[in-house]
Amino acid sequence: MHNLDPAQLKAWIKQQALDLGFADCVIARPDAQAELARFKEYLKRGYHGDMKYLEENLEKRADPTLLVPGTKSIICVRMDYLVESPRPRHVPDAPNQAIIARYARGRDYHKTLRGRLKTLASQIKAKVGEFESRPFADSAPIFEKSLAENAGMGWTGKHTLLIQRQSGSFFVLGELFSSLELPFDSPATAHCGSCSACIDICPTQAIVEPYMLDARKCIAYLTIEYKGIIPEELRQGIGNRVFGCDDCQLICPWNRYAKKTSIEDFHPRHGLDQVSLLDLWHWDESTFLSNTEGSPIRRTGFQSFMRNIAIGLGNAPFSARILDALRQARDGHDEVVQVHIDWAIQQQQAKAAILS
């Protein structure tokens, strides 16, 4: 192991990562101290909402060697997840369709990423002998965007997502903490300039200033993480987005370069790329559990998923079928869902009155 040239080993590791289906691989310094001040301000403002776990382990976030002792380098990877290239700078309008964020239409990416990172670690061990390593995919207190950015994978856009100049932002990140001493890659430069497209398009105005997101207004947070009654003033902005939101990415000019995935796991299952709100409304809990097995959508839970669909039905154009379906909602919905059903009925009735 000690006879191998570190630069050559780094190049070899990157090639193995590409061969495994990762779209990029960079070597990061295990140091994210520079991110801490901005993150503390984010927490101070309460922008993390109910995600109280973000308040914990700040020291480990800033110093990855506290999370995994002995870490000398972090192998950062990304995986593209687009199945189709979206129309540039365009947010489609399909009000009766249930919009699910593109990353969540197939298999849970956490498992896909971790599995391939473990394979990469095994390949490196076969090359260099034993070394300490641990894979992560959004599964530990890690400033993963900061690490990747500092190693040149891209820059943090004004919407707070990582953007890569040749590939846009439709990708997910993973890390392999390692005890290998590898040369670090250099930081990327930022290229958002004066563009404010993501800030302007956000349906709930969750990007309160460049590079600062108020999760309490963010549709991704509200439809996935948050389990309570969604504030009434935000419901119309949510529209028909029932799990996550891609609007700030769809409008970003850099995503005209977005690449399609080579990974089968990201391909939609159960028609989730073209399913109607009414189709999902008729799912019972057993159907939900069956159709979301191995899917990120499981994270929201059945009741919250129904809550989100009820909002979508309320926001849809008037339809007698929708109104009947809401009125005939099955028993078994909890009080939170019922609040949103009642609101959706009121919305549909108001639209009917305008038409009559």
223 is in an annotated binding site: no
Instruction: Answer yes or no: is 58 a known binding residue.
Output: no
260 labelled ligand-binding? no
What number of other Cβ atoms are within 10 A of residue 324's Cβ? 10
* 25 in a known ligand binding site: no
Closest-CA residue to 173 (of 68, 80, 244, 87)? 80
Residue in the block written with tokens 């028993």? 331
160 annotated ligand binder: no
Residue for token pair 């669909």: 309
**240: left (phi > 0), else alpha (psi -120 to 50), else beta?**
alpha
Please count the residues of the chain: 356
Find out whether 76 is annotated in a ligand binding site.
no
Phi, psi of 52 (to 5 degrees): -65, -25
The yes-or-no answer on residue 138 being catalytic is yes
- Distance, in Å, from the CA atom of 256 to the CA atom of 78, rounded to the nearest integer, reads 18
246 is in an annotated binding site: yes
The whole-angstrom separation of Cα 243 and Cα 221 is 9
Sorted by sequence, the CB contacts under 8 Å of residue 33 that are 6+ apart come out as 62, 63
Q: Is 20 annotated as a binding residue?
A: no
**52 known member of a binding site:** no
Helix (H) or strand (E) holding 135: strand 133-136
Nearest Cα residue to 242 out of 332, 293, 313: 313
Nearest residue to 336 (alpha-carbon basis) of 289, 302, 313, 294: 302
Q: What angle do CA 154, 134, 101 make, to 5 degrees?
A: 50
- Name the phi and psi angles at 299, rounded to 5: -60, -35
Query: For the chain, how big is the Rg over CA atoms in Å?
Result: 22
Given the residues 31, 63, 138, 273, the one annotated as active site: 138
**Which residues are catalytic, by number?**
138
Annotated binding-site residue numbers for [4Fe-4S] cluster: 192, 195, 198, 202, 218, 245, 248, 252
Annotated binding-site residue numbers: 61, 138, 156, 162, 173, 192, 195, 198, 202, 218, 227, 245-246, 248, 252
